[in-house]
Amino acid sequence: MSGVHPLTGVVRPYAWGSRTALAELQGRPAPSAGPEAELWLGAHPDDPSTLAGHDGPISLAEVIADDPKGQLGIPVAEEFGPRLPYLMKVLAAAAPLSLQAHPDAEYARRAFAAQEADPALPRNYTDAFHKPEMLVALTPFAALCGFRAPEVSAAVLEALAVPSLEPVTAALRAGVSGLREAVRLLLNWPAEDRPALIAAVLAGARANQSPDPASFALAIDLAGYYPGDPGVLVALLLNEVHLAPGEAIWMPAGNLHAYLNGTGVEIMAASDNVLRGGLTPKRVDVDELLKVLRFEVLHDPVLPATEVAPGIVTWRVPVREFALYKVELDGTRPPTPVPAEGPRIVLGTRGDVYVAEDHGTPVEVRPGRAAFAAAEAGPITVAGVGETFIAAVPS
């Protein structure tokens, strides 16, 4: 299939999802019947998007597998094989997600191979790929991203006045070199003692003055969702970030992070390798998580945008799998060339936008809807009035 075609994504109904955000974005009745957490746009084998075929919907993964060089372009197919190397999502969080991190590419390859060779090993990895990711806010968006200065975290924990946390604060007072030990102590807290620990933390948060009141409010909020979870305290070691629409955060390999609430456009390498550290009922493998975490301070989690043309910005990230562009259209300019080649997904987020190749029929992309442009479609343009995000592979 050549040219530009409407692309239908798949909504994933995780429990933390919003019942209104995706429905309102797409102009459907809200609230929806259940939580809608993520709209997947791509060819990931777990939930590939579909194109309209002559005999009904056809999986984008199948289309790429049947014609990788035409759909992806020869450079992308040679570098990544017959697979779309990125996955685009609209993420709609009404409740906090798990604390998590992702392995780097080399570790993912080795760990997945070892797991496949030994059925006795824990099933931590679903594929052999890394999963760096970036999120751009569509609404005000709150997240935890990367470790903050250990001395700041130590002061917050000390202000809770919980004597049993003294080994943790002592590790943090040692600086960056103590971060690993602080995280290890918290995540390995004896299960039978966790409810008492969190109860003491909440009592301290409500009774004492904090050098950082937002941290105490965060602890109280997270404990309401995940009572007895030591991830409540690990969260206090991270930067709490509040994004305005259009601002972005970048999560490279080893970055401990969690989304708290809001709606955003997320793009990542096409992998589902997630190692969790708390704030979840799902499996947590502390030893494996500690192997992939980067214990370093992230001073500024917000990733600045770079203007590449009038009305077009991107966010520079050091990966080969994806690039993301945001295009603002005010209807006063001629069709705007998309600054990308190869396989492209165009997602509408506001207004009414049309995507077209040379001499092709334009495809309408309304908010929450998307189009796929194969590499062999050549240059494409967007026109109309509104906002669109474009996922691509860097040239």
Catalytic machinery residues: 276
Helix segments in 67-165, DSSP class H = 68-72, 74-80, 105-117, 150-159
Q: What are phi and psi of 158, to 5 degrees?
A: -65, -35
What residues contact 71, with CB distance under 8 A and at least 6 apart? 1, 63, 64, 343, 374, 375, 376
Write out the DSSP string of 19-88. Answer: SSHHHHHHT--SS-SS-B-EEEEE--TTS--EEEETTEEEEHHHHHHH-HHHHH-HHHHHHH-SS--EEE
201 membership: H or E segment, kind and range: helix 194-207
The DSSP bridge partners found for residue 391 are 324, 345
Pick from 15, 21, 7, 99: which is nearest to 265 by CA?
Answer: 21
Q: Which residue has the tokens 């799902």?
A: 282
Inter-CA distances, 89 with 47, 136, 259, 370, Å: 12, 11, 14, 11
Strands (E), 193-342: 238-243, 248-251, 257-269, 275-278, 302-303, 306-309, 312-314, 323-330, 336-337
β-pairing, 344-357 vs 370-373, is antiparallel
